[in-house]
Amino acid sequence: MKTKKLFLFGLILAFISCNEKKIFSEYKTDFKANQWQKNDVKSFDITIDDESKNYDLTFILSHVFDYQFDKVPVTINIKNPKGETEIMNIDLILKDSAGKDKGDCLGDICDLKQTFKKNVNLIKGNYVISVAHTFNNSYLPNISSLGLEVTLSE
């Protein structure tokens, strides 16, 4: 019985310590008919309180299992507290070279996590991170949510 309690305590402690690394997490789920429209820019407002640490910035894209495209091109704008904007063009890579989904799939939905900034120092203050897809169509089909997580770097 003591062993079970000790194991449970350790499990809870591990769960809490994992969550301490996450300083921001938000998801946008307002995709009508699971379509991400080309003109639908998703924005996230983040406040950084401790500039002595480094951070990882990660997108989480939820899509239908066995997605018809291998990647999703996106443009990311990061506006820092000084009002300066960094523009990044990246691809969210949905499938590996064998055509297998790279995300964690449960049922017919897959959650792809892709870090686009790793171990970066962010100055104290408010940031606005916005993302839009640059897919060659008026909308991107079969998308259910887009999230942003900011975590402490290891």
Q: How far apart are CA 63 and CA 51, in angstroms?
A: 34
**148 token code pair:** 């942003």
So what's the pLDDT on residue 90?
A: 97
Sites in the chain below the pLDDT cut of 50: 1-17
Query: Which positions ≥6 away from 97 have C-beta within 8 Å?
Result: none
Strands (E), the chain: 22-28, 36-37, 42-48, 54-64, 71-79, 85-93, 104-106, 109-121, 125-133, 139-140, 143-152
So what's the pLDDT on residue 127?
A: 98
Let me know how long the chain is. 154
So what's the pLDDT on residue 30?
A: 95
Q: How far apart are CA 36 and CA 58, in angstroms?
A: 19
The tens digit of pLDDT for each residue in 68-89 reads 889 999 999 999 999 999 999 9
DSSP letters spanning 6-51 = HHHHHHHHHHHHHHHTEEEEEEE---GGG-EETT--EEEEEEE--T
